[in-house]
Amino acid sequence: MLTPRRNVWPPPPPASESDAERAARIEAEHEAKRVSNAIDESLALEREQRKRPSNAKILLLGQAESGKSTILKNFQLHFAPKAFQAEAEAWRPVIHLNLVRSVNFVLGLLEIRHPSTYSHDQQPTSSDSPLSGHLRRLSLSLAPLRQVEESLSNRIAGSRPPEDISEADRYDPAKASEISLRSGSGWTAFLRFRRGSTSTDRNDKAEEMQTRRILSACAADIMTLWAAPEVQQGLRDREITLQEQSGYFLDEVERICRDDYVPTSDDILRARVHTIGPEEHIINMESTTENVRSWTIYDMGGSTSQQLIWAQFFDSVHVIIFLVPVSAFNETLAENHSVNHLVRVFVLLSVHVLNRPRNFYAQFTTSTGRTLAARTMTASCATMTAPAGFGVVSFISQDGDEMDQLGFIYAKQ
C-alpha cells in the first residue's frame, strides 16, 4: 500500500542535488518570489485605484465677488500649468479691458465731482469746484478709451454683445464695472480660434494692434491721471479702493501697455470676468503624482437669482467650496440694499448645506496677502459650531492683519 504524499511548499530538495543545482534552485525561487510580490503589489494598487475616483468633482459656491474665479484659476495654475500658460494670450484683451474700464471709471468719477466742467448749461454750485486745466486736458486725451472699451467688450464676447445685466449692476459709483458673459460661451477658446482662423485673422490683428497703439499712446496720461492728488482724494472721499477691484492694473500701466506685453500668471489671477450662470470646467492633471486624473469644477453664479439651482449639484460632487467676501461685512447686496452681505451668507449656509455632513476646512487671505489655513482651534483662528455640524471660522491675526477673505471648504466624510 502506497503512503500518500504530503503537499509541502517549497518542495524538499532532491537527495542527489549538487551544490551548483542547489544554487540555481535557490536563485529561481527568489526570482519567483519577486515576481509573485510584484503581481500582488500591482493587484493591490489596482484595487486601491478602483476605490478612488479618477475624476474629482468640486462645487464652487459663494456670493458674487467672493473670489470663485480666482480659486478656479489657482486650480488650473497648480494642476495644469502648461494649459494655463497656453491661455495667457487670450487673457490679454481681458486685462486691457480691466485697465480701460478702471480709467473710464475714474473719468466718470471726475465728471460726477465736477459736473459744471462737463456741462455748459449747468451753473456751478457752492460745492462744485471747476476741474483743473491739467485734469481737463487728461480727460480729453483719454476720451478714445471709451471706444476701446466697447471694442474689447465685443471681442471678448464674440459675435454677441456682452450679456445684459440689471440696471442696479450697470453702474455703481463705488466700483468699476466688469464684463458679464453667459456661461458656456467658452470665450478663451473662442479667442484662440479666431487668432488661428484665416478668414478673421487679418481684421482681428488690425483691431488688436489698433487697441495696443491707443493704449501705448495713452499710457503716460493714464499714469498721470492715476497719480493725481485730486483723483486719489476723490476715491478716498467715496471710500473706493480700486486696487481691490480691476484697478490693480492701474499700478502696472507702463508694463501692460507695452506692445510686447504678455500676461503673467499673477496678471491672469487678478483679471476679472463676471460669468452669468453655472459653468463647468475640466482640468486634466499634468502631474502623474496626483491621485486623480482630472478635476471637474462647477463654478456657480453668485447672484440671488442663480442660487436656486445650487441644490441640484450637491449630491453628485466630492467637495464643496463656499467662499465669503468678508471685506464686504458692512455692505449690502446690489439687488437688495436692505440685506447685508454676511447675513445673506449665513442664510445661504443654513439653507443649502443643512443635513449634509462634511469635513471642514477654512482658508483666509489677509489684507497683506498672507494666506492662512486652519482645521481646528488655533491661536489665530476661533471655530464656532453651526447647524448640521458645519463650522464657521473667524480670523484674528496676531500680527494685526485685517481679514480680507474667508473660504469655507466642505468635503464629504
> Domain map of the chain by residue range?
52-66+294-412, 82-118+129-270
Q: Is 273 annotated as a binding residue?
A: yes
pLDDT at 270: 87
Q: Is 274 annotated as a binding residue?
A: yes
Task: Select from 235, 202, 286, 252 the least CA-distant residue to 98.
Answer: 252
Task: Select from 274, 218, 207 the least CA-distant residue to 245.
Answer: 274
pTM of the model: 0.66
pLDDT at 221: 94
Tell the CATH superfamily of the 82-118+129-270 domain.
Answer: GI Alpha 1, domain 2-like (1.10.400.10)
Residue 170 is which amino acid? R
Per the structure block, which three cell numbers stand in for 39? 503581481
Residues of the chain under the 50 pLDDT cut: 120, 122, 124-127, 159-171, 185, 193, 354-413
Question: What CA–CA distance (Å, rounded) separates 48 from 413?
Answer: 18
Residue matched to cell numbers 481691490: 244
pLDDT at 412: 33
Q: Is 145 annotated as a binding residue?
A: no
- What are phi and psi for residue 407, nearest 5 degrees? -120, 135
Exposed / middle / buried, residue 265 (Cβ in 10 Å: 0-12, 13-18, 19+): middle
Q: Is 23 annotated as a binding residue?
A: no
